[in-house]
Amino acid sequence: MRRSGSRTAPPEPSPEGTPVAEPWEELKRLLTEGRRDEIVPFLASLATGETARAVNRLDDEERHALLTMIQPEEAAGLLDALPDLEAAGMIEDLSAREAAAIVEEMPSDHQADLLGDLEDREAQAILDHMAPPRATTVRRLLGYESETAGGLMIAEYLAYPDSGTIGDVVEDLRAHGELYSGYNVQYAFVVAADGRLAGVLRVRDLLLSPAHTVLRNIMLPDPLRVPDSAPLDGLKRFFDEHPLFGVPVVDPDDRLVGIVRRAAVEEALRHRATRTFLAMSGLVGEEELRTMPLRARSFRRLSWLSLNIVLNVIAASVIALYQDTLSAVVALTVFLPIISDMSGCSGSQAVAVSIRELTLGLIRPYEFMRVVVKEGAVGILNGVILGILLGALAYAWKQNIYLSLVVAAALSINTVVAVLVGGLIPLLLKRLKLDPALASGPILTTVTDMCGFFFVLSFATVMLGRLT
């Protein structure tokens, strides 16, 4: 276990770039030969990422065999190492009874996450096969919004009545030690008779206090807590400020309902960052893995591409209005995509600065004027420089000063438009309670394309006599 930092690094491929044998080939072999005793030790021998990759390469039948050949407890651990959608897909291919046996072995927050990823009907069938108290707990967790304290909490925690004694607690811990060891619990809480969170116990108190001490008299009263509706960003700030591994969650009546672990908040933040990255790249909805069926992958991508083609046609329709100018000065066609793309880049930079300043809290969504002043200045400076650059290139190519002026002016002005639009869109989207990272790109591109095409072609139309 020493030097874990380097220990868990994935194995380097051999010098030619191709390793000798891929782990999934070995796993397939073990599965087809039915060597169930060797599967778990083999999976345990793989580096962190390799398990997911090996399972990823199995076909549906092999995955089914894998989950049913190993113990439910081991299957639960294996699913935990896989991407969410892949784990959900594997559970769906099992019978409800087989699935329930595996789900029972997970912590309650993972149970809720996994069942939340399934179709309602399938989730219900699995819940019906689970032990009733656990099923009730999971149903309760499924009722919360996913990115809130309620949606992230676990239902496994230690809580004792404030009228109990240290002796009661120590006895309970001894009696259920094995069960509790799976809870990964760091704190024990004290609740009042009506379920309200009253205090927290220190390890030191459990060790050093006489057995007859009443919990109410020794607990740290009024511990930190978060409401079950607390949003993810609030939880992030909470754990930034407090070096704790978990925080109790209370309902509106201040009753203890669960614990949010720091790790769950970190994981949810990573998920959100991934969703943003994928959406910015044109992958809307849940993530895509290349193991998914072709139709599903194609359909998800097309949902964004078909919206994009509409936006593109709108922007390009500006060009259609100036066909006469273009047929007179066909050299302009070279500059249309350059001006559209350059302005898009300038605008993206402004979008990124605005999103960053919104995230850091350096700007509020109503401060439009500040963005106009700050971006306007950069836009004019960069626009003039880029315009001169492109104008010089145009002159070098065609030796027509008027053509140079047209493209230089169009790029300069459109750069100003692009940074203003790019800087303001995130503020506007934020005011409309939309995610700036997701929607800014397409709006920006459509506007800068339309304006860019319009500036080049309308200026050229005015100067038409000088250009031909």
CB of 361 to a copy of itself, least distance (A): 2
Binding mask 312-351 for a copy of itself (x = CB under 8 A): xx-xxx-xx--x--xx--xx-xxxxxx-xxx--xx-xx-x
* Rounded least distance, CB 72 to a copy of itself, Å: 22
Helix/strand/coil for 57: coil
Please list, in sequence order, all residues whose beta carbon lies within 8 angstroms of the beta carbon of residue 364, skipping any fewer than 6 positions away: none
The pair of three-digit structure tokens given for residue 319, joined into one six-digit string = 């060009």
Q: Are 30 and 41 in contact (CB under 8 A)?
A: no
- The DSSP bridge pattern shows strands 188-191 and 226-227 to be unpaired
Report the C-alpha gap between 362 and 113 in whole angstroms: 34
Figure out which of the listed residues 364, 432, 434, 468 binds a copy of itself, where binding follows CB under 8 A.
364
**Which of 6, 21, 1, 71 minimizes the C-alpha distance to 41?**
71
Cβ at position 29, least distance to a copy of itself in Å: 20
Q: How far is the CB of 251 from a copy of itself (least distance, A)?
A: 12
Identify which of residues 135 and 351 has a Cβ nearer to a copy of itself in the complex: 351
Select from 110-118, 135-143, 188-196, 390-398 the region that touches a copy of itself (CB under 8 A): 390-398
Q: Which of residues 409-438 bind a copy of itself (CB under 8 A)?
A: 431
Residue 256's closest CA among 189, 203, 202, 201? 189
- Short-list 72, 197, 209, 214, CA closest to 129: 72
Q: Which of 306, 399, 433, 465 binds a copy of itself (CB under 8 A)?
A: 306
Task: For the segment 280-299, give every residue that binds a copy of itself (CB under 8 A).
Answer: 280-283, 287-291, 294, 297-298
- Closest separation in Å from C-beta 262 to a copy of itself: 8
Q: Which of residues 116-145 bind a copy of itself (CB under 8 A)?
A: none
Decide if residue 37 touches a copy of itself (CB under 8 A).
no
- Window 228 to 247, contacts with a copy of itself (CB under 8 A): 229-231, 234-235, 237-238, 240-243, 245
Residue 209 Cβ, how far from a copy of itself at the closest point, in Å? 13
Number of residues that bind a copy of itself (CB under 8 A): 125
> What strands, in cross-sheet order, belong to the sheet with 256-261?
226-227, 246-250, 256-261
* Residue showing tokens 């811990």: 173
Q: End-to-end CA distance of the chain, in Å?
A: 76
Nearby residues of 442 by Cβ (< 8 Å), 6 or more positions away: 307, 308, 311
* Distance of closest approach, residue 302 Cβ to a copy of itself, in angstroms: 6
Nearer CB in complex with a copy of itself: 72/383: 383
Q: Output the smallest distance, CB 169 to a copy of itself, in A.
A: 17
Q: Supply angle C-alpha 177, 178, 180, rounded to 5.
A: 65
According to the binding rule CB under 8 A, does residue 195 interact with a copy of itself? no
